[in-house]
Amino acid sequence: MRALLEEWLRNAGYRVHSAASLSAPVQENADLVIVSIYMPKHAGARLAGEIRAAYPRTPLLAISGQFRSGLSTGGATAQTLGVAQVIAKPLTRDALLATVQMPGGIPVATMAIDKAGATNAAIFAAEILGTSDPEIARRLVEHKKDLARSVAQKNERLKQQRTERKGIE
């Protein structure tokens, strides 16, 4: 994965210095650090913290297969990890470059190309529009409440089915 990211960034005109670990020597200050985070037992958050300590003024971009597709790159996950942005793996060259090239504070997200991706893209667009339109913001809140109710109902049905199956066994 590291080699592919290096190739994509170099082909886009970036200077790339690669390191397999935090202890590897870096000759110069970086404009951006990309860290691949695998997250069991909060290891990703610890690694991001170590990198922040080593490069306090350098933006961090976290990539992980543990992030869900359509995740807002600068949202709660990024804030929790203390990174500027996050990208879900598998990622595309375009998603990486869009995130790397976007100035801080500008929302960026990558979406799947199926029906769920289209739905996530619509919700993301509504979140952006809702920052300046109170009616869209209100309707989005209601939509998310409806989604939460639907998920809770489906969860209850699954629990009931599981209980019924255990009774049959």
Give domain 2-110's CATH number out of 3.30.420.40, 3.90.180.10, 3.40.190.10, 3.40.50.2300: 3.40.50.2300
Rg (CA), the chain: 20
So what's the pLDDT on residue 38? 65
pLDDT tens digits in sequence order for the chain, 169 residues long: 778 888 888 888 888 877 666 566 555 667 777 777 765 556 666 777 777 787 777 777 777 766 656 555 566 667 777 777 777 777 788 878 877 776 665 555 666 667 777 787 788 788 878 888 999 989 989 998 998 899 899 989 998 988 888 777 6
Alpha-carbon distance of 137 to 84, in angstroms, equals 25
So what's the pLDDT on residue 42? 60
So what's the pLDDT on residue 1? 74
Kind of pairing between the strands at 60-64 and 85-88 = parallel
So what's the pLDDT on residue 73? 57
- Can you give the residue ranges of every domain in the chain? 2-110
Spatial CA neighbour of 34 closest among 75, 2, 12, 10: 2
Sign of CA dihedral 44, 91, 78, 118: negative
So what's the pLDDT on residue 138? 93
Burial 117-126 (b: 16+ CB within 10 A, else e): eeebbebbeb
